[in-house]
Chains A and B, each alone.
Chain A
Amino acid sequence: MEVFFPRTLAELWPLKAANPESAVMAGGTDLLVRLRKTGERPPAIIALERLAELRRMSIEGGGLRIGAAVTIGELAASEIVRDALPALWQAAAALGSPPVRHGATVGGNMCTASPAGDTLPPLYVYGAAVAVAGAAGCRRLPIGDFILGPGRTSLAPGEIVTDIIVPLPTGGAFSAYYKVGKRRAMAIAVASLAVCIVRTADGAAGKVRLAWGSVGPTVISLPAVEAFLAGKRLAPDVLRQAGAMAAAAVLPIDDVRASAGYRRSLAGNLLLKLAALGDDEQEDGR
């Protein structure tokens, strides 16, 4: 098996064209596990880790542009991500373990398109866009259009993800990522919830974005629940009602990690994590 390490995108495209059956590898934390498990042996691997163009993070026009080959560890170590995108930062810190985070990348988590991918629910609630490029040019699409199903994306043959563009929430927004795994590290999410809430002056929730992981074929957004919470104070009773709506709406499955019923319960209960937010507001108001 040949392994290529292109250093520029200009070097990459001819390699991809010459090796149409090749596998693209960023960190390898998903790909190598899959190859070992299935016995698949692609004729070549094209590694993206030395592409400087894919390893940058920069603020551009009110958003954070994250190169697809930026590692999860780099995200977890980034002050900008910590301060401006706390849900993404928490998700990065909750993904795998230090060695996994050292290899795994944002673009890889995106392209694996697992409903359990930790960075995905935060990227949904922040309204991230995915920049895709191929020999013929670039395009940009919302994350919800990029991910089509479990392990399925709208990436065309010959294309790769180059960047994730994450709009920075306005000041005063609260965002967080809640994950339930089977242990505190090295755990695939049994269920997760990302939230991003812009609060109104009177302490109620203004704009609410929610995204659940591991309770459906892809990350799940429930606009009806968001609309229900918008404008309300996040008191436990309100959150319980929203939780019941969410539990009824998600589409979880049974697997070796958990039953669908448990995942459904979590989808609802995780909203009550926001009750602490209501407490803060009450205290602020006093």
Chain B
Amino acid sequence: MSQSDWRSNRPPAGGVQEIGRVAPRADAAAKVTGAERYAADYYPENYVWAGVKRAGVPHARIMGVDTASARALPGVVAVLTHKDIGGKNRLGIFEKDQPILADGVVRHCGDAVALAVAETKEALTAALAAIRVDCEPLAAVFAPEEALAAGAPIVHEGRGGGNLLLESEICFGKAREALAGCRHAVELTVELGWQEHAFLETQTGVAWQEADGSLTIVASTQTPFRDRLELAEALGLTLDRIRVTAPYLGGGFGGKDGVTVQGFLALAALHSGGRPVKIWYSREESILAGTKRHPATVTYRLGCDADGVFQALDCRLVFDTGAYASLGTEVFALALEHAGGPYRIANVAVHGKIVYTNNPVAGAFRGFGVPQAAAGIEQAVDELARVAGFDPLAMRRKNAVGCGDTTPTGVVIGRPAGLAECLAQVERHPLWRERQTWREGAPPFKRRGVGVAAVYHGMGFGPAVADYANAKLELTAEGRITVCAGVADMGQGNATTCLQIVSHALGQPYGDMELVLPDTARTLPSASSSASRTTFTYGNALIGAAGVLRERILARGALLLSFQLLAPVNAAEVDLLPGRIYHAPSGRSVPLKVIAGFMDAAERTATYSYTCPVNRQAIPTGGNLRLHGYPHRIFSYAVKLARVEVDTLTGEARVCDFLSCVEAGRVLNPQLYEQQLHGGAAQGLGYALFEDFAVSGGEIATGDLATYILPTALDVPDMETVSVAVSEDEGPFGMKGVGEVVIDGVLPAVANAVAEAAGVRVTKGTLTAEKILAALRAGGREATR
């Protein structure tokens, strides 16, 4: 298979794209015409299908797996179990607890027990049905409190700590005493459910062995470089024997942050008689086996003085990670760091636990723990404002953190922070200013409420794990620029931003550029597409690489000119213009193609390594969270406003207007930025009102998209966005990450609006019409005009 056959690096059309302006998406034309090839679109010649036998029971000991009858079926190429795996058969980041194929114990219904490879999908289905798994059921646990009870069944036998994955505490001052002395205080418990990523492209990929026996994997993944590390260890291969490439993803949202199908692909390709293998989950399998947002129960006690100044916070957050840790400890650490919201509170006790159960596996999901924390603190703030008689927005302004302040969890904000400006913008916005008139205009049998929430979101991996990027640019022999985008683009548009940054930095038009998507063989090791850090980190590396390449081009150009002019030429007097260099004193130009011919291949390639600065602040508490990302250095800020109309007859809630006011540094591309704000708000509205993921006894009751309710275009209102573009000078062109702060706080903004409309707060899970009708009834407002 030739490289050109499966690479995607069409040049985009267009001129020089400047930072701060709308640069057209490099992928737009190819995607809307169907020409772009996602991982799901790869059908290598002579490929075979791979598929997974799932456990179907939440907790069991595997007594035996009989593969003989499946193997004997026509069209079956291989049937594999953990015994066919050469390495450690363990995947994971910090807690390497997840087998590729179960070896001894099943820990959730979606656990993979065996892998079949077959000529056709029909033969694959028959093979999977013919695999006999002899299981002895084990007692199982489905809730954190059960899992922590004495004598509870243990999900990972022999693990120190039992079902408690991690427990931590962040304390400052004397929270409980201070609460007792507060003029006003509230207590609130909020239960949050799972959320399914529901990306359009389910987990998928292809893999094959090259002539030398090494593996090539094309996968829908956010983490090609980390996948390679994990796979090498789990399968007992050296890094140079594995190549991972990541075409554009059809959505990721954190659900492809780590290995999904890659282990199966690699294993299958090693046992397929040299034929390429393809795997592509059905929607049902995607929901069954994929990670979700962590369910959590958060209990908040918040108090203020007579002036509405927050005095004390005492909160407990309990997370259910399901059968495996995945990125649970990191999600948990970020939740705890953000537990107190973007406010100044002196007396704080944040306590948390994250617990194993036999439920579906929870992991990374856009927001990464902050949506759960924000759901707690932002509803507590509203309750406190109501009890104390303050305007909820004014109360937030009074307590908001700014540069130089300390967050509730002890982080000194040392970088520019635009929260106060966001709050001021929302306060001036007509959607807020005219709220009373709007509320009073509710039609018969409808009630209206307006809710806000303020949030912040730490960017990057924190102090322990290097947040690094290695950029690579090439001046091709034809004088074009090849931009290696080393971080996966899961739809957010960072590949386009890479081109825009290079176009701006080198002054070269889009039409003269080519894009190389992440590929462990062609792009350089870079960390994942995640944590609101993708463009920040890779962008900084790209700016560095562009500087190196510019200097080389100008130096070589000056040398060429000096031969032509028979006089020394100072490179500082040479300008880089689209397609050429220009020497003003002589009026001469040299095309880039000529300069490229004057350089050898190594010189034409510029690389630059960038690692994000971290917060080195010594914090005396929460020490065991440090390894998992606490504390952060740079935060983005946002305020969300929702206007919600509730039907008192049915409980149906309609979000009539939604405003996102975001401070995420300077804006590189206003269109991509707005798309993030819209997409994050829509996904947050799904989390708030629709996506009621149901699990009972470890089994998923909402296993398809007919029962798991995603919002449609009719359920999402026209949205308004306001950008507060404070420059973060450590970021490329002053930007900060925006991908996650856009979903944080959507749920509490909606919940605060619903609480105002219904008179009683819905605190258990998704705010479905059924629960809102019950709240209306409890508040005496059911079926009232």
* Residue positions of A touching B, CB distance < 8 A: 33, 97, 180, 182-188, 190, 236, 240, 243, 256-259, 262, 265-266, 269-270, 272-273, 275-276, 279
Main secondary structure of the interface of B (DSSP, over half): loop
State A275–B443 Cα separation when bound (angstroms).
Answer: 12
Binary per-residue interface labels of chain B (744-785) against chain A in the complex, 1 for a CB within 8 Å, 0 otherwise: 000000000000000000000000111001000000001101
Q: How far is the CB of A182 from chain B (nearest CB, A)?
A: 5
Residue of A183, A185, A262, A279 with most partner-chain B CB within 10 A:
A183
- In the complex formed, the residue of B with least CB distance to A179 is B650
Q: Are B690 and A272 in contact (CB under 8 A)?
A: no
B701 interface residue, CB < 8 Å from A? Answer: yes
Q: How large is the interface on B (under 10, 10 to 19, 20 to 34, 35 or more residues)?
A: 20 to 34
Q: Are B712 and A185 in contact (CB under 8 A)?
A: yes
Return the contact of B768 from the options A182, A275, A276 (Cβ within 8 A).
A182
List the 4 closest A-B pairs by CB distance, nearest first: A184-B714, A269-B649, A262-B770, A185-B712
Residues of chain B with a CB closer than 8 A to A272's CB:
445, 649, 783
Known A-B contacts: A190-B769, A236-B785, A269-B782. Give 8 more (CB < 8 A): A182-B709, A183-B709, A183-B712, A183-B714, A183-B715, A256-B702, A275-B445, A279-B444
B652 interface residue, CB < 8 Å from A? Answer: yes
Contact A184 to B712, CB < 8 A, known contacts A256-B707, A269-B783, A275-B444: yes
27 A/B residue pairs, CB under 8 Å, sorted by A: A180-B650, A180-B652, A182-B690, A182-B709, A182-B769, A183-B690, A183-B709, A183-B710, A183-B714, A184-B712, A184-B714, A185-B712, A185-B713, A185-B714, A240-B783, A243-B783, A256-B701, A256-B702, A258-B770, A262-B769, A269-B649, A269-B650, A270-B650, A272-B783, A275-B444, A275-B785, A276-B444
Residues of chain A with a CB closer than 8 A to B694's CB:
256
State A269–B783 Cα separation when bound (angstroms).
Answer: 7
Residues of chain A with a CB closer than 8 A to B769's CB:
180, 182, 190, 262
Residues of chain B with a CB closer than 8 A to A180's CB:
650, 652, 769
Q: Are B707 and A257 in contact (CB under 8 A)?
A: yes
Q: Are A186 and B712 in contact (CB under 8 A)?
A: yes
State A262–B692 Cα separation when bound (angstroms).
Answer: 16
Residues of chain A with a CB closer than 8 A to B650's CB:
180, 266, 269-270
Q: How far is the CB of A93 from chain B (nearest CB, A)?
A: 11
Residues of chain B with a CB closer than 8 A to A270's CB:
649-650
Residue of A33, A186, A187 with most partner-chain B CB within 10 A:
A186
- In the complex formed, the residue of A with least CB distance to B443 is A276
Q: Are B714 and A265 in contact (CB under 8 A)?
A: no
Residues of chain A with a CB closer than 8 A to B690's CB:
182-183
Residues of chain B with a CB closer than 8 A to A256's CB:
694, 701-702, 707
State A272–B776 Cα separation when bound (angstroms).
Answer: 16
Q: Are B711 and A183 in contact (CB under 8 A)?
A: yes
State A169–B783 Cα separation when bound (angstroms).
Answer: 30
Residues of chain A with a CB closer than 8 A to B715's CB:
183-185
State A108–B773 Cα separation when bound (angstroms).
Answer: 33
- In the complex formed, the residue of A with least CB distance to B652 is A180
- In the complex formed, the residue of A with least CB distance to B704 is A37
State A115–B715 Cα separation when bound (angstroms).
Answer: 24
State A266–B651 Cα separation when bound (angstroms).
Answer: 9
- In the complex formed, the residue of B with least CB distance to A258 is B770
- In the complex formed, the residue of A with least CB distance to B714 is A184
State A257–B690 Cα separation when bound (angstroms).
Answer: 11
Binary per-residue interface labels of chain B (429-466) against chain A in the complex, 1 for a CB within 8 Å, 0 otherwise: 00000000000000011000000000000000000000
State A190–B770 Cα separation when bound (angstroms).
Answer: 10
State A279–B773 Cα separation when bound (angstroms).
Answer: 24
State A196–B424 Cα separation when bound (angstroms).
Answer: 52
Residues of chain A with a CB closer than 8 A to B445's CB:
272-273, 275
Residues of chain A with a CB closer than 8 A to B709's CB:
182-183, 187
State A133–B695 Cα separation when bound (angstroms).
Answer: 45
Residues of chain A with a CB closer than 8 A to B712's CB:
97, 183-186
- In the complex formed, the residue of A with least CB distance to B703 is A256
Q: Are A259 and B649 in contact (CB under 8 A)?
A: no
Residues of chain A with a CB closer than 8 A to B652's CB:
180
Residues of chain A with a CB closer than 8 A to B785's CB:
236, 275
Q: Which of B638-690 contact A (CB under 8 A)?
A: 649-652, 690
Binary per-residue interface labels of chain B (44-59) against chain A in the complex, 1 for a CB within 8 Å, 0 otherwise: 0000000000000000
- In the complex formed, the residue of B with least CB distance to A270 is B649
Q: How far is the CB of A257 from chain B (nearest CB, A)?
A: 7
Q: How far is the CB of B715 from chain A (nearest CB, A)?
A: 5
State A186–B712 Cα separation when bound (angstroms).
Answer: 8
Q: How far is the CB of A234 from chain B (nearest CB, A)?
A: 13
Q: How far is the CB of B754 from chain A (nearest CB, A)?
A: 16
Residues of chain B with a CB closer than 8 A to A185's CB:
712-715
Q: How far is the CB of A61 from chain B (nearest CB, A)?
A: 38
Residues of chain B with a CB closer than 8 A to A262's CB:
651, 769-770, 773
Q: How far is the CB of B281 from chain A (nearest CB, A)?
A: 15
State A243–B768 Cα separation when bound (angstroms).
Answer: 22
State A256–B286 Cα separation when bound (angstroms).
Answer: 19
Q: Are A259 and B783 in contact (CB under 8 A)?
A: no
Q: How far is the CB of A28 from chain B (nearest CB, A)?
A: 16
State A29–B445 Cα separation when bound (angstroms).
Answer: 35
State A82–B710 Cα separation when bound (angstroms).
Answer: 30
Residue of A182, A243, A275 with most partner-chain B CB within 10 A:
A182
Residues of chain A with a CB closer than 8 A to B770's CB:
258-259, 262
State A183–B768 Cα separation when bound (angstroms).
Answer: 10
Q: How far is the CB of B280 from chain A (nearest CB, A)?
A: 15
- In the complex formed, the residue of A with least CB distance to B768 is A182
State A185–B706 Cα separation when bound (angstroms).
Answer: 12
Residues of chain B with a CB closer than 8 A to A97's CB:
712
Q: How far is the CB of A23 from chain B (nearest CB, A)?
A: 19
Residues of chain B with a CB closer than 8 A to A183's CB:
690, 709-712, 714-715
Q: How far is the CB of A109 from chain B (nearest CB, A)?
A: 16
- In the complex formed, the residue of B with least CB distance to A265 is B773
Residues of chain B with a CB closer than 8 A to A279's CB:
444
- In the complex formed, the residue of B with least CB distance to A257 is B707
- In the complex formed, the residue of B with least CB distance to A183 is B715
Residue of A33, A185, A259, A262 with most partner-chain B CB within 10 A:
A262
Q: How far is the CB of B646 from chain A (nearest CB, A)?
A: 13
